[in-house]
Amino acid sequence: MALGYKQISYQVENLTPLLHIWRTKSLSNTTTVPVLLPKQKNCPAVVTDSTEIIKFLESYQPQPSLYPDNALQLAEAIRLEDYFDESIGTAARNVYCQFRANEGKYIDPSWMSRAVIGMIRWRYGINVKSAEMASVKLADAIALLSEFWQDGFLVGDRFSVADLTAAALLCPLKSIPSYSLKYPWLFDRIAEIHQICNEPLPKNW
Ligand SMILES: N[C@@H](CCC(=O)N[C@@H](CS)C(=O)NCC(=O)O)C(=O)O
């Protein structure tokens, strides 16, 4: 979404969860995605971690900026990005995988998909209890977003890295009916943010 916002063309290489480790480890000493391979002169070969990727993109192509101009607002946008990254990223994964393993099996009933979801649940200890705890975290984050997103942005009066991160991480919840029915405004805003970022909505939106 950051690349789309800055209108930098890119190609996506999707990786299968867990098997992704072979690829990410061979590129850099990391087990997580996203990983950016700039393939440009005078740029690093690999940039890992979304915070670092956005920092790199801001220096590679400063405009349009994802960072607020004002120093206080910049600190707040980076703090929120970090909070969303650490809190709602894993919470959304827990809730989404628990849903896919139960009521959401219809989304992809193939054995391959069920095996991947099963492995992710095992790897991250996802079960009824951890998914319930995660849903409380998500409710808190959504309550925070409802104060800002119904008619504005999270920091100051323009779009920033904080809005982008929240939208990207909460996007998968759209396929869970209890979320899409309860928070229609949230998914309308996420759709608008995809537009701001010149990005298509995920399949089956
Ligand atoms: N702080 C990291 C978090 C990245 C992260 O947790 N990525 C997840 C998928 S969105 C992942 O790759 N998990 C695989 C793992 O932990 O093995 C970032 O923002 O890049």
Q: Which fold has domain 73-196?
A: Glutathione S-transferase Yfyf (Class Pi); Chain A, domain 2 (1.20.1050)
pLDDT tens digit sequence for 38-70 = 999 999 999 999 999 999 999 999 999 999 999
**How many whole angstroms from 33 Cα to the centroid of ligand 1?**
5
Measured in degrees and rounded to the nearest 5, phi and psi for residue 12 equal: -100, 135
pLDDT at 203: 86
Cis amide leading into 184 (omega within 30): no
- Identify whether the C-beta of residue 127 lies closer than 8 Å to the C-beta of residue 121: yes
Binding site membership of 7 for ligand 1 (Cβ less than 6 Å): no
pLDDT at residue number 143? 95
Mutate to test the pocket of ligand 1, among 18, 23, 32, 97 (most ligand atoms within 8 A of CB): 32
Per-residue tokens: 185: 């405004």
* Lookup: tokens for 28: 């850099």
User: How many other CB atoms are there within 10 angstroms of residue 183's CB atom?
Assistant: 20
Q: How confident is the model at residue 165 (pLDDT cuts 50, 70, 90)?
A: very high
Q: How do residues 97-135 score in pLDDT, each as one tens digit?
A: 999 999 999 999 999 999 999 999 999 999 999 999 999
Q: What are the structural domain ranges in the chain?
A: 2-60, 73-196
Q: Which whole number is the average pLDDT over 28-34?
A: 94
Cβ of 32 closer than 6 Å to ligand 1, yes or no, is yes
Report the alpha-carbon distance of residue 69 to residue 156 in Å, rounded: 10
- Cα torsion at 168, 9, 48, 200 (round to 10°)? 20
Tell me: pLDDT of 87 over 90. no
pLDDT at 22 over 90: yes
State residue 46 phi and psi, 5-degree precision.
Answer: -140, 135
**58 within 8 A of 3, measured Cβ to Cβ:** no
Using CA positions, which residue lies closest to atom 5 of ligand 1? 32
pTM above 0.85, yes or no: yes
